């Protein structure tokens, strides 16, 4: 009788995503989708656009006062967003 190498479905899927180069874009998408959950409905209402480029999350806001308030909370937001994904996906946030 031979022994089988048994892997969990999660491990197989993660390995497959990594091999195809899709793991990082998937984590980036999850992080961008977590923005409303982290900042809440009031800030989400003023958020016009969010995207990631070179490990920086760019957030376009319609309220200048909110931009300055969130700039002071930048590192805390980075930590919370990375915690949602479970890995360091972004290193900074820029508010436009």
Checking if the pLDDT of 17 tops 80, the result is: no
Please, which residues have CB within 8 angstroms of residue 66's CB and are 6 or more apart in sequence? 43, 46
39-70 pLDDT per residue, tens: 999 999 999 999 999 999 999 999 999 999 99
CB 84 within 8 A of CB 37: yes
CA angle 72, 73, 77 (to 5 degrees): 150
Contacts of 78 (CB under 8 A, 6+ apart): 57, 90, 91, 92, 93
What is the C-alpha separation between 10 and 14, in angstroms, rounded? 6
Whole-model pTM over 0.85: no
């Amino acid at each position: 009788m031979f022994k089988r190498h048994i892997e969990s479905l999660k491990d197989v899927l993660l390995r497959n995503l990594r091999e195809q180069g899709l793991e990082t874009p998937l984590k980036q998408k999850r992080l961008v989708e977590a923005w409303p959950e982290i900042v809440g409905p009031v800030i989400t209402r003023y958020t016009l656009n969010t995207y990631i480029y070179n490990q920086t999350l760019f957030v376009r806001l319609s309220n200048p006062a909110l931009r300055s308030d969130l700039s002071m909370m930048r590192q805390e937001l980075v930590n919370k967003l990375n915690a949602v994904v479970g890995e360091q996906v972004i290193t900074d946030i820029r508010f436009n």
